[in-house]
A and B are shown apart, each in its own frame.
Chain A
Amino acid sequence: MSSIRKRAASIMHTKIIWPITALAAILLFNLFFVPGFFNIEIKNGHLFGSLIDILNRAAPIMVIAIGMTLVIAKEGIDISVGSVLAIAGAVAISLLGVVPLWLAIVAALIVGVLCGLWNGLLIAYLGIQPMVGTLILMTVGRGIAQLITEGKVLTTDDKAFGFIGKGFFLGLPFSIFIAAFVFLFVLYLKKRTALGLFLEATGTNKISSEYAGVEPRKIYLFVYIVCGLCAAIAGLLVSSNISSADANNAGLWIELDAILAVVIGGTSMRGGRFFLAGTVIGALFIQSLTTTIYSMGVPPERIMVVKAIVVIVVSLMQSDRFRRVFQQKNKQAVAG
């Protein structure tokens, strides 16, 4: 086998190639079928266009998915992020006008940390299965958010708060900077501290890691707190963007989008190795897909069908067993 083919094969085995291919495919599709998709105009010193829109809308998913990547890397899952997002939004908006803006934001973030702490304690220290542990907050969380908003949809016209999710900075939506900051921060944790090694080690083999002096429980607690914090940040982005807190619908099903972004990004649901850049691309892909479908004029309700099919196709492509079946068929075809 020539070295080029070998290298090609090794690239094919790199997990990041899949989300990039998917994203490229969807952009290519838009290039041909959606006129003006790549147009970017400057209005009032801000950039406008579908691509910018995608970036802006993908920001909350991205932020949550980054937190979720860490959780999934340790073989966990956090399905409460949608509820935490709703709680954080409710806290922030209900406090606006009562306390200074910065305090409202900090309070929302603290609530996120507390939610993460709760999940982390259940999972790390009581040993409850992650899906089950976070299920509790998922169910109760929306009820709590309802209590905070007293069952109403709270609205705000605070300009400064609106800047978080709607404002522009250097011509780009401000939310992108927040997402980028979260990404860089977590990337720093992975690459410049031992968090990456410890997470991948505990995600692969908890007992061995423990015997090697890693403290899995602390790591678990930490990743759930980060995940809760990310959900709260996303809560700020979302509630600021729509200038309201809706306990029922804010962040509904965002946990699914986030999990999809992580899985498309190449991180296995079975824990171990994780890919932050893959997650970001996965989130962009999901949002591009949604936007594309919108701009194709397909009724928005049907997006879910497309998402479902994409999920299945992507996970099939990542499945070793599927590839093996496929390769065998190829081989037979060559032999025959």
Chain B
Amino acid sequence: MSSAEYDLIIVGGGPAGLTAGLYAARAMLNAVLVEKGAVGGQVLLTDWVDNYPGFPEGISGFELIDKMAAQAARFGLKTMLGSVTAMDLNDPVKRLTMEDGSQLTAKAVIISTGARPKQLGVPGEVELTGKGVSYCATCDGPFYRNREVAVIGGGNTAVEEAVFLTRFADKVTVIHRRNELRATKISQKHAFANEKVHFLLDTQVQSIVGKDGVEGVQLKNNNGEESFLPVYGVFMLIGTAPNNEMLPLDDLGADSYGFIPTDGEMRTSIPGVMAVGDIRSKAVRQVVNAAGEGAVAVLAVEEYLQQLA
């Protein structure tokens, strides 16, 4: 058996991966964090984080990540820029293939590849992405000053970002296919109190219409009535899809949505492989539990490495 280059490779630098990196660096493991763009993950899509403890006034998604990265760097966490395209995890030496064909090897791997906003899958969506179809209200909201926009979805992200968009847009219509919202009561209360936010419940999007840019959405009420809502922008905030293209899903026993199940110590079904953050099969996807999972996983990695020795 050839020896592994690293004790631990952490794949993905969102809150879960960065916290794992912090704990790994402080535990003096020979670890590297691999990130395809720059550190961040989905929290970068959030304008303001009001529920991460320790920041009584709240903090921007970007600043929170910046602080997490700086904290891990202070303890010497090594990070590497690049995309992992394949993982061979079953042997004691785990082998990761990068997009340039090079390979990294480690005794243990923490998968923190996260998730991304889900596509709705209606005609016009792909063609008009970036031309009125958006998955990030924080990024694109300012393009919609004094315009009318639609938000698709009924969860926390949809309802909270609808309120955020009223800073720019004259009117924001939240379109949800069910007859009630899934968002928490406090989020709903903020949205209901905002006179620029309107709701179209029991309504599904049939297609997004526009030539050089979005001109409106074709809708169908659950009782069969069809209508057209003219809007300049459509924000798709309907949940997340796992970033799992590089993972051996069968070996990891992925659930039917493609997320990875673990035990309470973040161990997957493969020895020496942990999964943390939004890629994990779980109900609650918050920054605070992503961070907690990163810490737990490193303790499980340390235990695993001790058994190997």
Are A and B genuine complex partners?
A: no
